């Protein structure tokens, strides 16, 4: 069989930085190809080249046996290439119909033909989700439905090549299953699908082929059948990875935080749990289970309406983040770029921000004390940087996360909350973050770790609290936790 699309030795540099050196990829009609690779392996650059967002510096792109040069997003579309992006790339103030036909609105006598646009939208949506109406304003749809609108857009373009960039990142289990069913249908209709995901279960359940990228180069392609996940990981990282989590056994101390019957509006209710010194409490659940909302209550950024918080034996009221910080609670939020780090500030300024009170001399901030505080922390966490004055936005995701964690260490917290601490950071940095959590626990910090990654929760937590739809389903001890049990508690099954 001949591939629809073939990339050979494709290269791309931004400034002096080589994002892609020799990208190789073959896409076959009627097959789903998984694109695998660590962050920074060149996957997104490859997608941008295929979809015409950026142009390759070198290499060959062959479509239907003939070489092409993809000049623009519009050109890519006219060649039958369509993409569904991770963060739905849609217009939430426009209607569903217009979102579907944004790239090619039907026209009559030179003006937009709304009735045809609505009718054709309804026809396409009927196959995907008849509950979505063409006239609905997109902002009112769920994340999963927005993905479907993007798929409808691809279908409206008669796309032969559909690229899905981590489409399940924000979906529940059931929504992901529905998306897979649709993906299989698109495949069986003869389309070539490129599926980017970090989740191996998905890759094995859905994909026919794989292509692995490492450091900007294609390092292997082949059929999924007959390959093991260990082999794929080895290809991705170039070395076998120690998949064992660096869980340390530390003595569990006295109860540091207890939460009783916390509730807030329609978000969660009757949430009770406790964490002890030196303990890591894992909080597992699907996206939308109310986990992050409870953490925001503990940190005061969205206080609970009912219930009680007891910190080290004392009932406390936490109405704001400054309350929480004053009481020794640190919070590493899920959205690193928006809530965690101040991207445009220097590393040093980021680290000392919540503990500026400790770096003053006679009431004025002391630059020297700030550096004395930030320097050792950044160093002990292994932040790869040119110096404390470097801006955080110039760091990789993993190093940004280390900076965010460092800033809480500067406050010497009694309780540290980490919300998806290793989301979107590469395997090496992940292990470092895990090791760091272990060290903190050994120092007696009570740690709450929210995570959607089952291996991480099972590997790191002493106890696992499972939430579903705003309620605590169970708190399971490490010895009794099995993947099946945790997933069953978290899902409707």
Residues in touch with other proteins (CB under 8 A): 51, 53, 72-74, 77, 83, 85, 89-95, 98, 102-103, 105, 107, 110-112, 114, 133-137, 139-140, 265-269, 288-290, 293, 469-471
What CA–CA distances, in Å, run from 255 to 274, 279, 475?
7, 9, 16
Provide the β-strand partners of residue 281.
448, 463
Of the pair 149, 346, the CB lying nearest other proteins is at 149
CB of 125 to other proteins, least distance (A): 11
Instruction: Return the ∠ at Cα 334 (arms to 39 and 320), rounded to 5°.
Output: 155
User: Measuring CA to CA, how many Å separate 58 from each of 12, 19, 22, 25, 364?
Assistant: 7, 12, 9, 15, 55
Query: Nearest-5° angle of CA 177, CA 491, CA 429?
Result: 80
Is 175 or 293 the residue whose CB approaches other proteins more closely?
A: 293
250 three-state secondary structure: coil
Q: How many CA atoms lie within 13 A of 443 on its CB side?
A: 14
Residue 166 CB, shortest distance to other proteins, in Å, is 15
Q: Which is nearer to other proteins, 26 or 293 (CB)?
A: 293
Q: Which CB sits closer to other proteins, 76 or 341? A: 76
CA pseudo-torsion sign 180, 184, 189, 190: positive
Least distance from other proteins to the Cβ atom of residue 72, Å: 6
With respect to other proteins, which residue has the nearer C-beta, 92 or 201?
A: 92
Q: What is the DSSP string of 292-308?
A: HHHHHHHHTSS--SEEE
Tokens 């406390």 found at = 316
The three-state secondary structure class of 388 is: coil
State the minimum distance, in angstroms, from the CB of residue 93 to other proteins. 5
Q: How far is the CB of 196 from other proteins (least distance, A)?
A: 16
- Residue 415 has a CB neighbour count (10 Å cut-off) of 23
How far is the C-alpha of 182 from the C-alpha of 493, rounded, in Å?
22
Nearest distance from C-beta of residue 110 to other proteins, angstroms: 8
The residue (of 389 and 393) whose beta carbon lies closer to other proteins is 393
Q: How far is the CB of 330 from other proteins (least distance, A)?
A: 24
Smallest distance from other proteins to CB 111, Å: 4
Nearer to other proteins, 252 or 471 (CB): 471
Look up residue 462 and give its two tokens.
């002493």
Tokens of 160: 């032969």
Q: Which is nearer to other proteins, 92 or 127 (CB)?
A: 92
Which of 76, 176 has the CB closer to other proteins?
A: 76
Would strands 161-165 and 192-196 be described as parallel, antiparallel, or unpaired? parallel
Least distance from C-beta 102 to other proteins, angstroms?
Answer: 5
How many Cβ atoms from other residues are within 10 Å of residue 50's Cβ?
A: 25
- Residue 56 CA to residue 66 CA, distance in Å, equals 17
* Listed residue (38, 52, 74) closest to 5, CA to CA: 52
Closest separation in Å from C-beta 170 to other proteins: 14
Quote the tokens at residue 335: 């959205």
Are the CB atoms for 149 and 100 separated by under 8 Å?
yes
For residue 9, the minimal CB distance to other proteins (Å) is 26
Output 158 or 389, the one with its CB closest to other proteins.
158
Helix count (H) and strand count (E) of the chain? 16, 24
- Nearest residue (CB) to other proteins, 272 versus 390: 272
**Cβ-count burial 171-199 (b if 16+ within 10 Å, e if not):** bbeebbebbbebbeebbeeebbbbbbbbe
């Amino acid at each position: 069989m001949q591939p629809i699309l073939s990339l050979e030795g494709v290269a791309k540099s931004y400034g002096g930085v080589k994002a892609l050196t020799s990208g190789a990829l073959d896409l076959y009609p009627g097959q789903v190809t998984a694109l695998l690779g660590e962050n920074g392996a060149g996957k997104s650059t490859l997608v941008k080249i295929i979809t015409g967002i950026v142009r390759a510096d070198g290499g060959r792109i062959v479509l239907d046996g003939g070489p092409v040069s993809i000049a623009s997003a519009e050109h890519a579309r006219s060649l039958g290439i369509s993409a569904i992006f991770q963060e739905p790339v849609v217009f939430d103030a426009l209607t569903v119909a217009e979102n579907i036909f944004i790239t090619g609105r039907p026209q009559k006598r030179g003006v937009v033909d709304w009735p045809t646009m609505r009718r054709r939208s309804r026809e396409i949506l009927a196959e995907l989700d008849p509950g979505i109406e063409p006239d609905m304003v997109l902002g009112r749809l769920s994340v999963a439905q927005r993905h479907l609108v993007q798929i409808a857009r691809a279908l409206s373009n008669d796309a032969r090549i559909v690229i899905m960039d981590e489409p399940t990142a924000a979906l529940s289990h059931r929504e992901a299953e529905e998306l897979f069913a649709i993906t299989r249908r698109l495949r069986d209709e003869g389309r070539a699908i490129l599926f980017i995901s970090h989740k191996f279960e998905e890759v094995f359940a859905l994909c026919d082929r794989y292509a692995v990228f490492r450091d900007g180069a294609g390092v292997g392609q082949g059929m999924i059948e007959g390959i093991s996940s260990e082999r794929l990981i080895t290809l991705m990282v170039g070395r076998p990875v120690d998949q064992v989590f660096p869980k340390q056994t530390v003595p569990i101390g006295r109860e540091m935080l207890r939460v009783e019957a916390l509730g807030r509006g329609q978000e969660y209710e009757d949430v009770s749990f406790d964490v002890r010194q030196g303990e890591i409490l894992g909080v597992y659940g699907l996206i939308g289970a109310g986990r992050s909302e409870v953490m925001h209550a503990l940190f005061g950024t969205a206080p609970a309406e009912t219930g009680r918080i007891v910190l080290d034996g004392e009932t406390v009221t936490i109405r704001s983040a400054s309350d929480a910080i004053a009481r020794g609670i640190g919070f590493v939020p899920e959205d690193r770029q928006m809530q965690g780090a101040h991207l445009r500030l220097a590393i040093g300024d980021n680290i000392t921000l919540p503990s500026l009170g400790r770096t003053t001399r006679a009431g004025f901030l002391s630059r020297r004390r700030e550096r004395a505080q930030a320097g050792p922390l950044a160093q002990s966490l292994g932040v790869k940087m040119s110096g404390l004055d470097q801006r955080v936005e110039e760091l990789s995701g993993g190093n940004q996360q280390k900076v965010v964690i460092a800033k809480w260490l500067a406050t010497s917290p009694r309780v540290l909350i980490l919300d998806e601490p290793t989301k979107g950071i590469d395997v090496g940095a992940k292990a470092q973050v895990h090791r760091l959590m272990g060290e903190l626990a050994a120092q007696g910090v009570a740690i709450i770790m929210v995570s959607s990654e089952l291996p991480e929760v099972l590997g790191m937590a002493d106890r696992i609290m499972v939430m579903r739809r705003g309620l605590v389903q169970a708190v399971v001890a490490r010895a009794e936790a099995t993947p099946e049990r945790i997933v069953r508690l978290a899902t409707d099954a």
